[in-house]
Structure 1
Amino acid sequence: MTPVAFRRGITFMAKQTHRIGILGSGNIFGRYVTGLARHPELEIVRVADIDVARAKQAAADHSIPAWGDDTELYADESVDIVVNLTPPVHHARTTIAALEAGKHVYVEKPLATTVEEGRAVLEAAARSGRVLGSAPDTFLGSASQTARKAIDDGLIGTPVGASAFISHSKAETWHPDPRFLFQEGGGPVMDMGPYYFAILVNLLGPIRTVTGSSRIGAERRTVTAPGRAVDSIDVTVPTHAAAVLTFASGAIATMQMSFDIWDTDLPYMEIYGTGGTLSLANPNHFDGEVRLKRHGDTEWSVLEPVVGLFGAVGTKEQARRGLGVRDLADAVEGSPHRATGPFAFHVLEAMCAVEEASTQTRVVALDSTCDRPAPRFSV
């Protein structure tokens, strides 16, 4: 493959120290701790959990000075940013509580599990005057930013369509308690979908309409993960869905999102333009190859990243999280905010529309829109 070079762009610009309180010390907690450690100006000062013993252990394991329950976190005047890592069904309630306590909040994906709850979160942020940010933030990484620059520079002409495929994460084999993935607030659309929807909106702009169909695959799942909390799960949410997204720009994307596809040769995401095609790496990661093949090319070219890598490709570093928290901290200081509440709400409404379209057998027009996030590379 022939390399194609871009000029490497700007990075995050925060200047002051921000004191972080993390709410939730479950499976993804360590990924945030290691990711935030890359930014010494983001200082983790407290961890909270409904299981206080677990919070205490997490604090000891990572040398965090304070620990306790959620109310203690909200009351801690030294904390100015809360990073909300609670299970999705608790996102709305806990985010609103943190905002009302005067904290800026960055919440893991999805923003909420229903459109109504998502609106309530946005309203709480507006009342509080605090900055609200939300995952997914992988669109801030080198892969999505590199693809964004290729599109903005016209390397594939006018975007016409896209395809995206979410196959099985096989969480039953590695997650100690994957129940949340197969119950309310879970499923492939709500769990993995945010990464894909967010990157598509970053690349193609806001979504206008959604149609789709979904179903439950296996109604009972066997859990084989080491140290598992349960041996089996009764599935209550769709685990296989297909959707068609029409963007305000006129581009059309087809998506397949499934926890029932165990083996596949499908790509992760491709963008099709009047002059060529882009192929992206796993949207669940910040970094990875972006390949370009223009009409008339005999081979694919690998684009040089336009921003620095967050984690070494192919290593455990790729699992780290935290760019969205850095983005929020920059916004508190007045820099452009990219992983915003309205952006996350638009993604949430689009995801909820997949099931609405399926159950009502119709095309769903979205009520929300959002700004296409500002790029991280220099323009």
Structure 2
Amino acid sequence: MGDPHGVGIVGIGVISRAYLDTLASHPAVHIAAVADLDASRSAAAAATIAGSEALSVERLLAHPDVQTVLNLTIPAAHADISLGAIDAGKNVYVEKPLAVAFPDGQAIIERATAAGVRVGCAPDTVLGTGTQTARAAIDGGLIGRPMSATAVMVTPGHERWHPHPDFYYAPGGGPLLDMGPYYLSALIHLLGPVRAVVGAASRLRAERVIGSGPRAGEPIPVQVDTHVTGVLEHADGALSTITTSFDGVATTAAPIEVHGETGTIAVPDPNTFDGTVRLRALGGTEWEALEPRAGYAGAARGIGLLDLIRADRQRPPRAGGDVALHVLDTMTALLRSAAEGRRIELTTAVRRPAPVPFTSTEDWTT
């Protein structure tokens, strides 16, 4: 791999710990700098990482040792930070979604292409053995021609556990923009790109109450729809239905099921990297658990950035900006369809990312 790849992290919030657990000690990466609006948080993080500095965002973007910016800011800041990094000549890997508004996502990809830098975007959970084993089974013909899929995410809302959940209920938040990227990215890996959508949405109540942390008991306004459902028309003719909700208690539905002419695949939670993939063959009476046969084994958040570092012209990043822009196009089209009451055709197209061959934990951590 040569010298470690220099990474600068902007945003030292809750999710940063998961990335640091993967990247801080990885031999292919050197975290050269960290930045946060709260200087005490960036200083505390830098103190735990050998050779890392706590800097302002501006100084981090200009740092000569930073080759890729890991953008872990809140969704509303994703576009500004990513565009700043691109303009500084840096690659970007951004937490999902790519941006809050589709034009901002387009600007990120267009500016990166013009600058000759790469864009990657979460979720990278789809690169683990769960989604990738399901994809290998589908591509291997175990369910025949795939015809349809269902994707279901139901929770009572993140304010029950998150100490500062305001952004989940502000413009750019809601269950689809927050959790939809996991399910839509998985469906694109499994069934390919989407060409059109029909959506519907609702809102259960006008405010939520924070359930934990120093602000417990504080009400916050709900400015977005909190239950979004829709139908996705995939380019190859398959139909997927998706439900994302902050208005339910629980569900017994599998996170994702893919139905084919000769079988059904039950896919584990796309918010996780692994899990059991199950197959029910036509005429069978039992579900069969499939052994992991593809994907990064034992993967964790940050594997998408490592995959981006190792990408080249022949094999683009699997958690790439092109997929993230297509996911953003799908989500914003679903919300627009819900508001306007009509079918909407997408403006983007994307190739299915390259599959991930089975890669042992030892192979990707060294």
2:147 is paired with a residue whose SS is strand
173-182 or 194-203: bigger deviation: 173-182
* Cα distance, 1:205–1:16 mapped onto 2, change above 3 Å: farther
TM-score by length of 2: 0.94
CA distance in structure 2 between the partners assigned to 1:71 and 1:331 by the alignment: 27
Amino acid of the structure 2 residue aligned with 1:224? G
1:329 aligns with 2:316: no
Alignment size in residue pairs: 358
TM-score by length of 1: 0.90
CA distance in structure 1 between the partners assigned to 2:249 and 2:338 by the alignment: 23
Equivalence for 2:363 = none
* Cα distance, 1:108–1:310 mapped onto 2, change above 3 Å: farther
Equivalence for 1:80 = 67
* Cα distance, 1:21–1:229 mapped onto 2, change above 3 Å: farther
Q: How far did residue 331 of structure 1 move?
A: 1.7
Equivalence for 2:339 = 359
Q: How far did residue 226 of structure 1 move?
A: 2.6
* Cα distance, 1:161–1:347 mapped onto 2, change above 3 Å: same
Q: How far did residue 332 of structure 1 move?
A: 5.5
Amino acid of the structure 2 residue aligned with 1:337? P
CA distance in structure 2 between the partners assigned to 1:325 and 1:34 by the alignment: 13
CA distance in structure 2 between the partners assigned to 1:64 and 1:184 by the alignment: 38
Equivalence for 2:264 = 277
Equivalence for 2:319 = 339
Amino acid of the structure 2 residue aligned with 1:265? T
Amino acid of the structure 2 residue aligned with 1:243? G
Contact 1:177–1:230 (Cα < 8 Å) also in 2: no
Amino acid of the structure 2 residue aligned with 1:213? A
Contact 1:51–1:69 (Cα < 8 Å) also in 2: no
Unaligned runs of 5+ in 2: 359-366
Amino acid of the structure 2 residue aligned with 1:344? A
Equivalence for 1:130 = 117
1:110 is paired with a residue whose SS is coil
Q: How far did residue 162 of structure 1 move?
A: 0.3
Equivalence for 2:184 = 197
1:231 aligns with 2:218: yes
1:196 is paired with a residue whose SS is helix
CA distance in structure 2 between the partners assigned to 1:186 and 1:64 by the alignment: 35
1:192 is paired with a residue whose SS is helix
CA distance in structure 2 between the partners assigned to 1:230 and 1:102 by the alignment: 44
Q: How far did residue 262 of structure 1 move?
A: 1.4
Percent of pairs with identical residues: 43
Contact 1:330–1:336 (Cα < 8 Å) also in 2: no
* Cα distance, 1:258–1:292 mapped onto 2, change above 3 Å: same
Unaligned runs of 5+ in 1: 1-13, 312-317
1:146 aligns with 2:126: no
**How much is the aligned-residue C-alpha RMSD, in angstroms?**
1.8
1:181 aligns with 2:168: yes
Q: Following superposition, which runs of at least 4 residues in structure 1 exceed 6 angstroms of deviation?
A: none
Equivalence for 2:328 = 348
Contact 1:175–1:228 (Cα < 8 Å) also in 2: no
1:373 aligns with 2:353: yes
Equivalence for 1:247 = 234
1:68-125 deviation digits (Å, cap 9, x = unpaired): 2110101100111110001111111110100110111101100111111111111110
1:115 aligns with 2:119: no
Contact 2:232–2:240 (Cα < 8 Å) also in 1: yes
Amino acid of the structure 2 residue aligned with 1:189? L
Q: How far did residue 309 of structure 1 move?
A: 5.5
* Cα distance, 1:70–1:354 mapped onto 2, change above 3 Å: same
User: Which structure has more RCO (C-alpha within 8 Å, separation ≥ 6)?
Assistant: 1
Q: How far did residue 38 of structure 1 move?
A: 6.2
